[in-house]
Structure 1
Amino acid sequence: MQNPLPLMLEPAPLSRDILCTFPAVGTVLTMVIDQGQEKLGIKFIQCYRWMKFINIRFEVHAALWHAVLTPSSKLCYLPDDDYSVMHRQRIHEERIPTQYGRLPFTCFPWPSRITETSHPDVNSVTLMDVLTYPEVTYKFKCVVRVVALAPWRPEDFRSPSGVYRMQLTLEDPTARIHAFLFDTDGDKFFENCESVDALAKMRDVLLGVNRDPTGEYATRNPPWIQCCLKSYYLDSNDVWGSRTYGMFDTTCVC
């Protein structure tokens, strides 16, 4: 809770106008460019052009992948009729119309079965679809990973009055968001976990944590789960600025 995972590597959130220019499907990868890269002509890059980057290093910071240019990195423009460009466009166009077009490739053939939703026949969308949806309030179904939750201790999941109040950090290849699990939505989510021990087990399953023989946490690989999300606002005078997300109609079943 004192050191929450960031939602992005940028120092300030990107505006919704910028996010709306991003593709809704595919992996959004942040690239870090420092002052030593002037020779590449980064400041003169033209937007909306296909480019090829060579000799890029990938690193993980705050559990987020990002790309870093190196002294040997190179870049070049690609024409629209380049084979690799046409191949990727064809893959994208074939993927979008299908029922599974919004699912992360790494969850195929299907996400884990540790959660169920009340809307099994609704197609999934990406978190970028959620962030850029044209209406402030709406309901969605997504396939995501739970990469963090607060509070951490199962005995603190409920308030002293017995009401669930938690914040989950969710991610997919396109974005990362915070979603709240509150009150009756929490009751439904944890309806199969009544004891503190059961809640602790479910927490570990959601976060994909494994323990070593001494009981200490060793590795972590959160599973892909299905969930329903709703967007709503907290301030009627600033509906977009106060837009918030919550999980609902989702139940842990493992």
Structure 2
Amino acid sequence: MPPRRRDDDDYKYMQIIDASSSINQRVNLIGIVIETTLPKRTKGTDLCCSVRIVDETQPKTLSIMFYAETVDKIPRVASNGDIILVSQVTISTRGSEVYAMYNKKFSAFALYEGRDFGEREFAPYQSSRKFSFREQDRRLIKGMRKWSMHNKIEGLNDLMLLREIKIGERVNLLCKIMHVHKVKKDKWMLFLWDGTDAPPACIETKLEDEMENPLPLHLEPSSLSRDILCTFPTVGTVMRMIIDQSYKISIDFIHKHRWVKFVNIKCEVVAGLWQAVLMPLSALRILSDDDDRVLDCQRTYNERVQLKWACLPFTSFPWPSHITETDHPDVPFVTLMNVLTHTEVTYKFKCVVRVVAIFPWRADDFRSPCGVYRIRLTLEDPTARIHAFLYAEDGIKFFGNDFSADILARKRNMLLGIGEGDDCERSPKNVSRNPPWVECCLKSYYLDKNDAWGSRNYRIFGTTLVG
């Protein structure tokens, strides 16, 4: 892109590299949006957010700080790569950082589609009240679109998928917002998905805690309705993200079923479940459905679900452990999200899962005083967690006919990923566990045949723990 022609002294657009040295001066800028922070309340009554831009002088970038009384007066960038024009912003410094300050009294802005859709797209999709379009803008927007189409823009491709995340690591995450759930007055939970499986996390809880403080099935305070769960894909992890009151205005910018890029977020594990955490400098980029990275992600997912083993967790390949066998070797596998959202009850399934908790935890208590097995297992795969019961003859099928406590304890430890040196029976402690992937058969049923979704339960059947 050639250097911009200066139209007149009052209406010239500066390149970022020149504007960065114009401290305390008012300038006009045009650039490609590569980052927007989530809007927050200031200590006063305003909202503030930051929009980072790049132009043909990259890798130099510049952040523009926006302040406004209401959320509709802050730029709402529709997609990464869109173009923003700002006028009469003041170049300022904070320490070694140079940035542009938008003044709500005299500054103006306009947002344009980043792609070239013809003459009809020379009208902004959002603009401030003081913005006035001039004929020179048409040439500048056209030139910026042409430059962005033929050049790789730094800062837009450093992305990570859910299958690559690590505990405590700061990441830029490409994902789709599947659902926005209000947890309480000033707290929301986002449900994020990209078609891949998050890596299985180690379980840190004590076995004996399962009675008073059971391992949760989900991170939200109450389970989502079946109608909502049915909108989730049945393959791939749906990870939770909390947005608390310090980000409460940003929820207006977030819409479900949109592809986004979260910048500088942290991934944590809570009770063995992955959770994304916003950081003070986290940012959000809205992606268009025809973004190359989005199309690549969707293509990879579509290729996955067409495979015979699509429902197997990524980390179970080439095959889950052989410590269990089922009576139905030819039945296709499904995920636990398939199990949760299936329309029919009673229905039978075969899954590959990890056993992350068991109740009661002592092998001596697996059977009732009259000798009947009665055990609740907590099962998980990349898509969900459920409780499944081992009862009566299904327990005998699973554990075998040797009822000695030592044998049952060894089988339990093998199932839960507890090492041979950990004596959990005599000295229960907080042992880090990484349970193996195992296959099992599940059956859904209602406790009350006249009841509906709320009482749906699951039993393990036709499965043997062979060691």
TM-score under structure 1 normalisation? Answer: 0.95
- 1:136/1:240 contact within 8 Å kept: no
Residue in 1 aligned with 2:261? 52
Q: Secondary structure at the match of 1:129?
A: helix
Instruction: Measure the CA separation in 2 of the matches of 1:192 and 1:91.
Output: 46
Secondary structure at 1:219's aligned position in 2?
coil
Is residue 2:243 matched to residue 1:30? no
- Structure 1 counterpart of 2:215, one-letter code: L
SS in structure 1 opposite 2:238?
coil
- Cα deviation for residue 236 of structure 1 reads 2.2
- Alignment partner, residue 12 of structure 1: 222
1:93 aligns with 2:302: yes
Counterpart CA distance in 2 for 1:118 and 1:151 is: 26
Give the direction of change, closer, same or farther, for the CA distance of 1:197–1:94 in structure 2 (3 Å limit): same
How many residues in Structure 1 have an aligned counterpart in Structure 2? 253
Q: Which string of whole-angstrom CA distances, capped at 9 and with x for unpartnered residues, describes residues 64-122 of structure 1? A: 11111111111111112212211111111111121110011011111000000001111
- 1:191-210, aligned counterparts within 5 Å? 191=400, 193-210=402-419
How far apart in 1 are the matches of 2:262 and 2:361? 40
Structure 2 residue runs of 5 or longer lacking an equivalent are 1-210
Match of 1:243 among 433, 436, 456: 456
Larger RCO, structure (CA 8 Å, separation 6 or more): 1
TM-score by length of 2: 0.52
The change in CA–CA distance for 1:30 and 1:193 in structure 2 (over 3 A counts) is farther
Q: Unaligned regions of 5+ residues in structure 1, if any?
A: none
Question: Which residue is equivalent to 1:78?
Answer: 287
Structure 1 stretches of at least 4 aligned residues deviating more than 6 Å after TM superposition: 213-216
Aligned pair in 2 of structure 1 residues 219, 212: CA closer, same or farther (>3 Å)? farther
Shift of 1:253: 0.5
Pairwise CA distance, 1:219? 3.0
1:65 corresponds to: 274
Per the alignment, residue 160 of structure 2 pairs with none
- In the alignment, does 2:366 pair up with 1:153? no
How far off is 1:195 after superposition? 2.0
Q: How far apart are 1:192 and its partner, in Å? A: 6.1
TM-aligned CA deviation for residue 214 of structure 1 = 8.2
CA contact (8 A) 1:124 1:140 kept: yes
Aligned to 2:102: none
Residue among 433, 438, 441 paired with 1:220: 433
- Identity in percent: 63
| Letter in structure 2 aligned against 1:200 | A
What are the Cα deviations for residues 173-201 of structure 1, in whole angstroms up to 9, with x where unaligned?
11000000000100100116442111100
Which region of structure 1 is more displaced relative to structure 2, 186-195 or 222-231?
Answer: 186-195
Asked if 2 retains the 8 angstrom alpha-carbon contact of 1:154 and 1:196, the reply is: yes
- Kept in 2: contact 1:33–1:69 (CA 8 A): yes
Q: Which of 240, 244, 251 lines up with 1:42 in the alignment?
A: 251
Distance 1:160 1:96, change over 3 A: same
Q: Which moved more, 1:210-219 or 1:190-199?
A: 210-219
Structure with larger Rg: 2
Distance 2:370 2:401 in 1: 20
RMSD, matched Cα: 1.6
